[in-house]
Amino acid sequence: MPSVPKAVEELSPEEAEIELARLAEEIAAADIAYHQKDAPEITDAEYDALRIRNAEIEKRFPDLVRPDSPTGSIGAPPAEGFAKVRHAVPMLSLAKAYTDQDVIDFIERGRRFFERDKDLDIAFTAEPKIDGLSASLRYEKGVFVQGATRGDGTVGEDITANLKTIADIPHRLKGSGWPETIEIRGEVYMTYAEFEALKERSAATGGQDYVNPRNTAAGSLRQKDPSVTASRNLKFFAYAWGYTTEDPAPTQYESVRKIADWGFKVSPLMVRARSVEELIAQYRQIEAQRSSLGYDIDGVVYKVDRIDLQRRWGFISGEPRWAIAHKFPAEQATTTVRRIDIQVGRTGTLAPVARLDPVTVGGVTVENVTLHNEDYIAGFDSNGQPIREGHDIRIGDTVVIQRAGDVIPQIVSVVIDKRPADALPYAFPHTCPVCGSPATREMNEKTGKEDSRRRCTGELVCPAQAVEGLRHFVSRGAMDIEGLGAENIDLFFNAGLIRTAADIFTLKDRRPEARRVLAERREEQARQREAVSGKERKNVRSADQRNFEGLDKLFAAIDARREPELDRFIFALGIRHVGETTAAVLAKTFSTVEEFVRVGKETAAAEDPMAVFPSVNGIGGTVIEALRNFFGNTRNDDVLDALLAQVRPKPYVVTVSADSAVAGKTVVFTGSLEKMTRSEAKAMAERLGAKVAGSVSAKTDIVVAGPGAGSKLATAQSLGVEVITEDEWFERVRGA
């Protein structure tokens, strides 16, 4: 049974360091899912809890603050594909309030901050928090010249062309009195009516299904073709401004009214108030109107009204002190669990899904809800904390559900009084329901805790993992087969032409089928372009000729990789916990693929794998267990044998320069390396006769520190270890 995480004050420095690493990883993943992929994976409350715990640990252990600490970060890095825009004034997030008391505390903090101003009458604004995608619009001399997404708060994506298709965004400001330069900020959103109309149009043509208005609006705004964005009929509410050569007005309320005069739509529900009672009354009124607005809102934002007071109160940790978002509670409904199905993800994770009696929650019919993992079913969340008053979930249970953040359905509680007498605890499968391979839970060496997720060990044979495994196999760090990217892998897999890695090297034997598949895709792409543009296709070289030429290049690229480097081959197999660096260590240790496979199978067959597997610096119990699972799964044998019949990995040869300037030295690389990857740096140092260590000690000779170097740099300085930059490293080893 998972244990409840320790209270922050009970953590040791070692435990705190591990916890901060976990929190940084989880928060970064959540930021990318929400801001970059427009597909949130956890609730707002769960996300806030992660950030709060991270901040508390950092406050108690300031020396352990990581270079990639989530504190002060906003959103996620801009997605690839659009030019980057650096915001002249950062686009900040807001602190959250979940109860009336949180709002009272916010107001009291303001009163205390300004308590010396005895006669100061502080007013606040209250307005709906639109659930859409934040955008910043730059106007120069009244003309719209550039628009950007929030991105990570500092750098966003240039989506000017797409924003210009939104009717609510004026290309030229109306009226007069606007500043020489001003960045108008607001929210792009999609109405319920437009969302349903889009779903109907897509269903009629066999297109994709859309999940909710917020994600759809965000995806529509990131289209490469502005005409697609224009067809979605997006809306825009303005509510603030960023950089400006002069304030629109002395107060928030008057400034927003001024922005409306310039041609923008602003919320008609925005009011000015002077007391907590007035603010909360407006919150209740907006909440009551929520379902009839025709678009998504998820709370009410309160701001200090006077601009000069906003500046005086200032900011903290990437948030303004003078504003707060009062979130709405999620809508709930009651239904029955009819069965629990297990889905296998592309990385082998067994994901349980509850099938429910259909029920409407927040205007959306819910029939399925994820149960995350077996601990969650048993009554524990992803952090091992008891949930749902400790009750497990069983088939036949009556459950209360809600849409977390008004997006993701989740089970809130089990109505235990209505549990059927014959309802049994759910027995989570220990074998993969897709391929029959063993499904295991790994042990985290650092924390000593078992992973909450159970994974299929059939990396090479499980159809559920096949596409992801093939994408990884051909990727740049692995086999690096040019022209066989994710799109072509998906295409050939769905056509049945490539099912395993060995099939890649026999694809030439199925040339006619491959040409037909490519021709059908090109024809479909041409029809789609024609439908969007309304223009007929012009005479171009035949698709058959292009497919013929493309296949010849692809087959040549495949043949060129029939003798890969051993470390690339090992990495390409996609074995759990075997990344590029570990693959290089394994290749160096065993030299040939035959020896690597032999030791792997002996390790899998041994009662004590640690006694069989050689002691190798950098290879611990987690990797050995992953190798044992991989080679111990006999279903992988035939696939691996078929692959080795097509490729001949080169023996791994290390040429060491004994007379280099760093020969015999112990080197540590830390921070962000800009001219080489971490694995390239390690390989270079070892080739030059140096030993590369993962931590700094008194035995360390050189620390190569890149941007963002943290605790390792501090340790090196305290021990008097020589610290050099990446450029100085190259200067030192030049000529070796």
pLDDT at 40: 63
Q: What homologous superfamily is domain 331-456 in, according to CATH?
A: Nucleic acid-binding proteins (2.40.50.140)
Which class is 8-64 in CATH?
mainly alpha
Going by pLDDT thresholds of 50, 70 and 90, the confidence category of residue 5 is low
Domain 666-733 has CATH 3.40.630.10: no
Concatenated DSSP letters of 493-544:
HHTTS-SSHHHHTTGGGGHHHHHHHHHHHHHHHHHHHHHHH--PPPP-S-HH
Nearest of 401, 454, 395, 414 to residue 43 by alpha carbon: 401
pLDDT > 70? residue 187:
yes
pLDDT at 3: 41
Query: What is the tens place of the pLDDT at every residue in 295-351?
Result: 989 899 999 999 999 999 998 867 899 999 999 887 788 999 999 999 887 678 898
> Which carries the bigger pLDDT value, residue 542 or residue 66?
66
Query: What is the tens place of the pLDDT at every residue in 215-272?
Result: 888 888 888 888 889 989 999 999 999 999 999 999 999 999 999 999 999 999 999 9
Tokens at 463, concatenated: 């159809």
Q: Kindly state the average pLDDT of the residues 362-376.
A: 84
In what helix (H) or strand (E) does residue 409 lie, and over which residues does it extend?
strand 408-414
pLDDT at 149: 93
Going by pLDDT thresholds of 50, 70 and 90, the confidence category of residue 532 is low
Query: What is the tens place of the pLDDT at every residue in 266-305?
Result: 999 999 999 999 999 999 999 888 878 889 898 999 999 9
Angle CA 44–50–53, to nearest 5: 135
- Count Cβ atoms below 10 Å from residue 59 Cβ, excluding itself: 11
pLDDT at 667: 93
Residues known to be catalytic: 129
Q: What homologous superfamily is domain 500-652 in, according to CATH?
A: 5' to 3' exonuclease, C-terminal subdomain (1.10.150.20)
Tokens at 302, concatenated: 């309160």
Question: Do 666-733 and 500-652 fall under one CATH topology?
Answer: no
pLDDT more than 70, % of the chain: 89
What amino acid occupies position 497?
L
| Cα separation, 619 vs 578, whole angstroms | 10
Residues with Cβ < 8 Å from 657, sequence gap 6 or more? 663, 687, 688, 689, 736
Query: What is the tens place of the pLDDT at every residue in 9-23?
Result: 778 877 888 888 888
The whole-model pTM stands at 0.47
pLDDT at 679: 67
| Cα separation, 406 vs 211, whole angstroms | 11
Nearest of 428, 462, 422 to residue 353 by alpha carbon: 428
Angle CA 496–499–503, to nearest 5: 100
| Cα separation, 30 vs 47, whole angstroms | 7
pLDDT at 366: 85
| Cα separation, 620 vs 263, whole angstroms | 63
| Cα separation, 65 vs 57, whole angstroms | 9
pLDDT at 325: 95
Least confident range of 75-84, 150-159, 713-722, 726-735: 75-84
Going by pLDDT thresholds of 50, 70 and 90, the confidence category of residue 540 is very low
Least confident range of 82-91, 502-511, 522-531, 664-673: 522-531
Cβ 515 vs Cβ 492: under 8 Å: no
Residues with Cβ < 8 Å from 216, sequence gap 6 or more? 190, 195, 198, 210, 232
Helix axes 13-31, 44-60, angle to 10 degrees: 150
Tokens at 17, concatenated: 């360091």
Q: Kindly state the average pLDDT of the residues 410-439.
A: 92
Q: Kindly state the average pLDDT of the residues 410-425.
A: 92
pLDDT at 576: 83
**What secondary structure letter does DSSP report for 10?**
G
Cβ 586 vs Cβ 596: under 8 Å: yes
Going by pLDDT thresholds of 50, 70 and 90, the confidence category of residue 702 is very high
pLDDT > 90? residue 123:
yes
Which class is 84-327 in CATH?
alpha beta
Domain borders along the chain are 8-64, 84-327, 331-456, 500-652, 666-733
3-state class (DSSP) for residue 245: coil
Going by pLDDT thresholds of 50, 70 and 90, the confidence category of residue 363 is low
